[in-house]
Amino acid sequence: MPRARPAYQPEFRRQIVELVRTGRSPEEPAKEFEPSAQTMRTWANQDWVDTGERPGLTSDEREELAQLRREVKHLREEKEILRKATVSFAREISR
């Protein structure tokens, strides 16, 4: 499913996070800029995790986890295909 709009540029995200880190509530910049206040909160929270100020998965860890989950899904699909092929070949041999 295509995104409704292109992703925000990393520099823009950093600027928004800096505004929130300086004490402005996310609702204030949300009136001036396009991202919602919740989006800004999410970006700021993830920045705090990435810098070690809060516990949680860093952006790199999240990316690695997503990549590993995709890989596991792919391997499970391959395993299922091989299982079905083995059953099929076993039936052919037994005939």
In this prediction, residue 38 has a pLDDT band, given cuts at 50, 70 and 90, of very high
> 20-35: per-residue pLDDT in tens?
999 888 898 888 888 8
Q: What are the extents of the domains in the chain?
A: 7-56, 58-95
Q: What is the mean pLDDT of the chain?
A: 91
> How far apart are the C-alpha atoms of 71 and 45, rounded to whole Å?
28
Confidence at residue 2, expressed as pLDDT on a 0 to 100 scale: 63
Confidence at residue 80, expressed as pLDDT on a 0 to 100 scale: 98
Confidence at residue 59, expressed as pLDDT on a 0 to 100 scale: 95
Q: Could you tell me the pTM of the whole model?
A: 0.70
Structure tokens at 32: 């001036």
